[in-house]
Each structure stands twice: as C-alpha cells, then as structure tokens.
Amino acid sequence: MLKSVDLSHYMEPDPEAVAPSASLFAAMDIILREGISGLCVVDEKRRLLGVLSEMDCLKTILSCTYNDVCNLGMVADYMTTEVDVVQRHADVVNVAELMLKNSRRRMPVVENGILVGQVTCRRLLRAVRDFNRSTV
C-alpha cells in the first residue's frame, strides 16, 4: 500500500519544540499559532525531555480556573516525561500500530536521544491518501 515502510519518508523533520523553562502561556501560543496538538520539550542540544500536549494545557487552565489560582509556571511543571519515541528508520506500519495501541496522536522521532522529527496520525493518513491517488 505505501511506497516505503521507512518512517523517515513520512515524519515531519525539525518539529516545533519548546524549552522546559518556557512559560506555559508561551507554549500555548506556539500550539495555537501553528495549529498543532502539542510540542516536544527539548534542552539546548535538542535532547528530548518530554512533550506538552494541548490537553496538558487545557487541564492546567481548567484546574487554575476551578481553584481560582492562575499563577502558571513553566512548561517543565506540566509536561509529560514518560514519552513513547521511535527511531528515524522505524517501520511505518509498526509505528502506526504503536500509535494506535498507546492512543498517541503523535510520536517524537529521535536519534541518539536527539529530536530529529515527529510523526503524526495526520502525516500517516496523508501518506496513504497520496499513495492511493498515485495508483489510480
């Protein structure tokens, strides 16, 4: 069905990322501006430290509102550090199965701990659609 099973052909290279020291509002601005569902959190050498999803942001904002305390901190205070990652040359079918199994909308692509890309459900769907169009 796909022209290749190598993830490198379908990943988004150099995805939007944020430092753990960035404010939560700054991260939310990036998410909204770019129309993405979350950000990779990296250090100055682009080592992956975690992810911050729009759901993490929404949960935090609602909690703030509910508790009537809105002193939001840094991304590090809200990011998820238990992150499923894949390698650049992983099999795209295995990656899709892992995303489904773990209910992930996106997965960082790393090489030696360094963020090199990201794969999303949308990119995988686009790849299948484009392949289907080219065979008709």
Query: pLDDT digits over 28-72, tens only?
Result: 999 999 999 899 999 999 999 999 999 999 988 887 766 666 667
Structural domains for the chain: 7-135 (3.10.580.10)
Tally of CA atoms within 13 A in the half-sphere of 44 that contains its CB: 0
Give the C-alpha distances (Å, rounded to integers) separating 14 from 29, 64, 119, 133: 18, 32, 11, 27
pLDDT of 1 > 60? The answer is no
How high is the pLDDT of residue 83? 93
- What pLDDT score was predicted for residue 15? 94
Q: How far apart are CA 18 and CA 50, in angstroms?
A: 10
What is the maximum alpha-carbon separation in the chain? Answer: 57
Other residues' Cβ atoms within 10 Å of the Cβ of residue 94: 12
Please give the share of the chain, as a percent, with pLDDT higher than 70: 88
- Cα–Cα distance list, 16 to 3, 32, 87, 105 (Å): 27, 12, 18, 15
pLDDT digits (tens, 9 = 90+) for 67-78: 666 667 899 999
The span from the CA of 29 to the CA of 23, in Å, is: 10
